Structure 1
């Protein structure tokens, strides 16, 4: 592991030295740039994931051509982004990657304009330069050096797609205006997307710190200019990794990227804002001579098998496992997903496998499982294919009513995300009831319930033409109606895929 960290630091240092040798991509995540104004977006980035999600705003900044930004459902141009750079740059080149999804004709951005400001994110913009982007190309434009701290990118049109607009990467290359930046202290408490972070400096000048999430500890490995490379480890779950944080010129923000172990190909965003100049006391204070050893708690081995509900064949890919405090991304090449996790009373397993409907399952860990340090479960997933029917779990209504319960909103929003991801999909929603009450009234109730679901989808940007509805009442039970424990499974909403 030590050798891996040495290789990681060497890689990061070489990247920084290479950047300083010439121009710097001022809008890159790794260089401390953040987006302070965001347009409608197809995917909202996950705050706690060590990856940049495709079709989120961060896809423009990760320097990975495989991810990019896509507009949100039912949104229209213009799309405005405001990038806040870590400090003043003299921008001399703009680069736009339009190698977008070829299956969506005319989806890539076309007419754009770029403005620059040194005043604020909202005012002082000059040099509103229009550009015409060609499809499936790295569009690079040399410009006369323009001083900028904020860059406003406005996309006014695409190449003809009536529903979506995409741009894979946006880069603004330039040089630092200030060759030797003012020294700013990192000491203090910072608020971040992982709760608070505390940084301090010991008597030997070594910077270190801690953070609340899973009782994390930070150790500085390298600093170059205003870029700080740390390694981190977490007491609660045993995870460890690296991060690169860049200080802004005011000393009020530290923004950058973080990853797990020594893998630098996948990383998430870490944005810190200073709240006070005095650091908290940390368990890893380097001035403490002796530290109390943390009790070692053995992990629980979790084994999740994911199978196709129809074929019973295993499904490979990546799933996410959550406890109350921790998150684990688990990869499998054989359909068996295993992870050692910090003991807890339950786990939540989320799947979002390609061409399958997403699932969310909660499993309680009983005393026997916690004692044996082992638990295993099977999750069935439904393939997204024409003709397939999928039970929409947890879409619930008030008793004898078509009013949705609040707990129904997450699965409905998940359905919206799937329909947005597959814009050609046409579905039929069917409503079902148990056999309690009048048969005709049950049919009417089932019709009213699926109408409520359809209305929610339409109100959130899904075309009504893509959704057919039917109410079957008590006609097609999937469980016994003899008792409430099984009868409740018949009160449900199902989705049948008519067209993909």
Structure 2
């Protein structure tokens, strides 16, 4: 009887330990994002990416620049932020495996660049008609502005030096206005969007080459208010 009781207790102990070891212990991360002057940044789209599985968790920073993640322990994660049409890697964190839930407080700094050239936003030659390949970047910009509700920007149109100066100035303004109308249709308030056309007056490359002219034909986002 005594041996039988010991056997039962032993089996119970082994099962208890097995059950305990199989628990999926979590790491709870409170992530705060601030700008470079330590002001909390609201409306940032944060990504928590598992280096092992590639699984992506996302969250938007709320009041105080805070967002929260719950992830398995015993893994390495890359923390990213969605910018205009890119994702920017901010930090890599390794969470050690533990037989208990863990809590972490983490603060990261990030600030959108004041000036950004929109990628893959193109128009028909000599026209203000958007190419369909432009929609992805514009949709990402709209999403950014819907999240960051205080952001006010200038849409600055630029051309190369081919053609008449006055026509280029008019065309660059018309193209910037088309982008504004697109963003308004996506839910962005018109007063948050300033339109300006600079024509060929602000080149960033040599207009004597096709490669240079291609770089000069661009639309920039310039932050007016954050």
**Shorter chain as normaliser: what TM range?**
0.5 to 0.7
Residues 1:477 and 1:412: Cα distance change in structure 2 (over 3 Å): same
Residues 1:471 and 1:8: Cα distance change in structure 2 (over 3 Å): farther
**1:114 matched residue in structure 2:** none
Any conservation in 1 of the 2:152–2:224 contact (CA below 8 Å)?
yes
Does 2:191 correspond to 1:465? yes
| Number of equivalences | 161
CA apart distance, 1:444: 0.7
Residues 1:264 and 1:453: Cα distance change in structure 2 (over 3 Å): same
- What is the aligned counterpart of 1:359 among 86, 91, 104? 86
Does 2:171 correspond to 1:424? no
Distance across 2 between alignment mates of 1:413 and 1:8? 47
Does 2:211 correspond to 1:488? no
Distance across 2 between alignment mates of 1:8 and 1:480? 67
Any conservation in 2 of the 1:429–1:496 contact (CA below 8 Å)?
yes
Which consecutive residues of structure 2, in runs of 5 or more, have no partner in the other structure? Answer: 1-17, 27-44, 48-52, 89-109
Distance across 1 between alignment mates of 2:164 and 2:125? 14
**1:10 matched residue in structure 2:** 22
Distance across 2 between alignment mates of 1:430 and 1:407? 19
CA apart distance, 1:331: 2.9
CA apart distance, 1:487: 1.0
Does 2:58 correspond to 1:53? yes
**2:35 matched residue in structure 1:** none
Residues 1:360 and 1:483: Cα distance change in structure 2 (over 3 Å): farther
Greater helix fraction, Structure 1 or Structure 2: 2
Secondary structure of 1:479's counterpart equals: coil
**1:264 matched residue in structure 2:** 72
Any conservation in 1 of the 2:121–2:134 contact (CA below 8 Å)?
yes
> Residues 62-113 of structure 1, C-alpha deviation per residue, up to 9 Å, x if partnerless?
xxxxx9xxxxxxxxxxxxxxxxxxxxxxxxxxxxxxxxx3359xxxxxxxxx
Any conservation in 2 of the 1:450–1:471 contact (CA below 8 Å)?
yes
Distance across 2 between alignment mates of 1:403 and 1:7? 63
Residues 1:357 and 1:409: Cα distance change in structure 2 (over 3 Å): closer
> In angstroms, what is the RMSD of aligned CA positions?
3.7
**2:78 matched residue in structure 1:** 331
- Return the TM-score normalized by structure 2: 0.60
Secondary structure of 1:402's counterpart equals: coil
Does 2:114 correspond to 1:102? no
Residues 1:49 and 1:464: Cα distance change in structure 2 (over 3 Å): farther
> Residues 213-272 of structure 1, C-alpha deviation per residue, up to 9 Å, x if partnerless?
xxxxxxxxxxxxxxxxxxxxxxxxxxxxxxxxxxxxxxxxxxxxxxxxxx62599xxxxx
Distance across 1 between alignment mates of 2:118 and 2:157? 11
Residues 1:452 and 1:428: Cα distance change in structure 2 (over 3 Å): same
Residues 1:473 and 1:460: Cα distance change in structure 2 (over 3 Å): same
Alignment of 1:204-223 (within 5 A): none
Any conservation in 2 of the 1:51–1:266 contact (CA below 8 Å)?
no
Distance across 2 between alignment mates of 1:469 and 1:436? 22
Distance across 2 between alignment mates of 1:483 and 1:360? 31
Larger RCO of the pair (alpha carbons < 8 Å, separation 6+): 2
Greater strand fraction, Structure 1 or Structure 2: 1
Secondary structure of 2:153's counterpart equals: strand
**1:436 matched residue in structure 2:** 162
- Return the TM-score normalized by structure 1: 0.29
- What is the aligned counterpart of 1:451 among 177, 188, 212? 177
CA apart distance, 1:330: 6.6
